[in-house]
Amino acid sequence: MMMNPQISVGWHNSCCVPDGSQHPGRVTNPEQLVDSLRGMTTDELHHVAEAVRQVQIERAITSGDQDAIIARAFEIGFGRDGLGVLPWVEGEVIVCPGGLVSKSRTSHRCRFVSVDDVWVWDSGLLLREDKRSSPGTDDGFRAVALVPVVDGTELDVVTGRARSGGHQVDHVVSYEVRAGELVEVSQRDVTARNMR
């Protein structure tokens, strides 16, 4: 991604160290950086925000051993019920376990993650997803998805079930990424009455 030259000049000047040398990414005076941001136009702020988002995604792609993270997630990311546990941050990625356990062709339990109101497997932020058949006698599958830690991203962990062809959401836990952390913002039980 190319930054607007006007933005990069102000940005680098905000990141100078006392000897005058340039160290992009090193902020020695946060107040000066904030003042510089306040002096930007709305368009320049949008470009800076997109540049920050792009750098966070690039770091998630290049950091850590994704194979090892996914292997470990398949070991620890599922409860006794066979469904995924709640997501967690590991390095620069959010680990999102999900799964479906079928008792019959018309009955199953499931738990999956949505990212910014889109299922994780359809998300533009999806870095990688691996699927495996459920162990044991139940039909179904387990999946582990990795998404980058990008501030402002919203996640919903949706637990539901299907019976006789109808699907019902039972519980939703919502998170937001803030300062690189996954922060729970709400939990709610969903009933047929409050789905109307």
- Quick: pLDDT tens for 57-81: 787 778 878 999 999 999 999 999 8
In this predicted structure, the answer to whether residue 18 has a pLDDT above a threshold of 60 is no
Dig out the tokens for 140 from the structure. 């179904």
Average pLDDT (179-195) is: 82
Same domain, 88 and 184: yes
pLDDT of residue 63: 80
Please identify, among 18, 39, 62, the residue that sits at the C-terminal boundary of a domain. 62
Same domain, 180 and 96: yes
More confident residue, 5 or 145: 145
Structural domain including 124 reads 66-195
Same domain, 111 and 54: no
Same domain, 71 and 9: no
- Our count of domains for the chain comes to 2
Split at pLDDT 50, 70, 90, the class of 154 is very high
- Mean pLDDT in the chain? 83
Percent of the chain with pLDDT over 70: 83
Split at pLDDT 50, 70, 90, the class of 29 is confident
In this predicted structure, the answer to whether residue 11 has a pLDDT above a threshold of 50 is no
Split at pLDDT 50, 70, 90, the class of 25 is low
More confident residue, 179 or 196: 179
Same domain, 58 and 13: yes
Same domain, 94 and 118: yes
**C-alpha torsion sign, points 161, 167, 171, 175:** positive
Q: What is the dihedral of CA 23, 27, 32, 36, to 10 degrees?
A: 70
pLDDT of residue 23: 53
Same domain, 158 and 183: yes
Amino acid letter, 41: T
Dig out the tokens for 82 from the structure. 């066979």
pLDDT of residue 24: 61
Dig out the tokens for 84 from the structure. 């995924």
More confident residue, 45 or 90: 90
Could you read off the pLDDT of 76-120 as tens digits, one per residue?
999 998 899 999 999 999 999 999 998 887 889 999 999 999 999
pLDDT of residue 193: 52
Same domain, 13 and 79: no
pLDDT of residue 167: 84
More confident residue, 96 or 163: 96
Same domain, 70 and 137: yes
Same domain, 131 and 170: yes
CA contacts within 13 A on the Cβ side of 57: 14
